[in-house]
Structure formats: C-alpha cells, structure tokens
Amino acid sequence: MTPFCYTWTSGQKVIEIKYTDLQRTKSEPKEVVKAYLQKHPSSIPTTLVFDQDHDIQWIKDEMERRIWLGDKWFVWQAGGNTTIRDTLQKVSDNITIFLDYRQKYFGINGDSDKENLYQLVSTQNLQGVKDKLSEYKTWWSNNKTDSINLP
C-alpha cells in the first residue's frame, strides 16, 4: 500500500494532497489534483518544475528536515515546552513522512516500522521513539548520498 502524495506551494500556502487506497483497486486521484491546481495554482517557478537534479535535492533535503524536526521536538519537550504525548505525536508524524519518502524513493517498505512506531507512541514510550529516531538518523547518514528512484 503506497500512498500518493502531491505537494506544492500556492502563494503563501502549502497544498498537500494524500491518497491511500487500502484495497488497491483505484488509481491515483489525478482529477482531484487537477481541480486543486486550478483552485490553488502552483507558485513554483517553471524553471524548477522539470529539473530532475533539483527534485532529487529537494526530496533529500525534505527527508533531512523531517529527521531534524524529530530532534527539535525532543529538545522542546525536554525544555518543558510541550507534553510527552504531543511530542510523541509530532515526532511520529515526521518519522512517518520520512518513512514514506524512504519507501517511495529508496524502495524500503516502511509498514512494519510504522506499526512499531504506532505501538511506541500509543504506550507513550518516549525512549523507544527516541531510539527509533536515532536508528533512522543513522540510516539516513549512511544512505543520503545514494541515488534515488524518481517516478
């Protein structure tokens, strides 16, 4: 089950459309994406739209940012600025997006990782989630220079 995700900027807004077909019977919702593009036209410069090197760099930068955000939420929580529950949810959200990118562009299935992460968050296992983030940071450090598969 690979979710489809479309993201672009439209002025000062970030538009993100996610779609997952659990039964795997429908194709990606291109008509919905087209409708959103009409209502919220992309402000991404056309010089960047078909630049594969730029796309690859953006994807890798976004994966790096998701790991960085996980760390920042833990720092913020340690400073007493957020609850453990909220921190775990935010870190989990960022790790999940990282895993989605890793699956889509590096071909590594993340379903069991997401299930494990869900269990850690549901039991409020702060150290377990920190350990998972550390594991993904190590993986990213070892693999971020690898080539990726663009669709």
Average pLDDT over residues 17-46: 82
Question: What are the structure tokens assigned to 14, written together?
Answer: 């970030």
- HSE of 73 in the Cβ direction (CA atoms, 13 Å)? 23
pLDDT-above-90 percentage for the chain: 64
30 in helix, strand or coil? helix
Shortest CA distance to 5 belongs to which of 132, 99, 84, 126? 99
**Phi, psi torsion values for 19, nearest 5 degrees:** -145, 130
Average pLDDT over residues 120-148: 96
Shortest CA distance to 36 belongs to which of 13, 12, 17? 17
Whole-number CA gyration radius for the chain: 17
Task: Give CB contacts under 8 A, 24+ apart, made by 38-44.
Answer: 40/10, 40/13, 40/15, 41/10, 42/8, 42/9, 42/10, 43/8, 43/9, 43/10, 43/11, 44/8, 44/9
What is the reported pLDDT for 26?
A: 73
What is the reported pLDDT for 109?
A: 95
Q: What is the mean pLDDT of the chain?
A: 89
Shortest CA distance to 100 belongs to which of 90, 110, 91? 110
Q: Is the pLDDT of residue 146 over 70?
A: yes
Average pLDDT over residues 41-60: 80
What is the reported pLDDT for 8?
A: 87
Average pLDDT over residues 18-38: 81
- pTM of the predicted protein model: 0.69
What is the reported pLDDT for 47?
A: 66
Report whether 146 contacts 106 (CB < 8 A). Answer: yes
Q: Is the pLDDT of residue 65 over 60?
A: yes
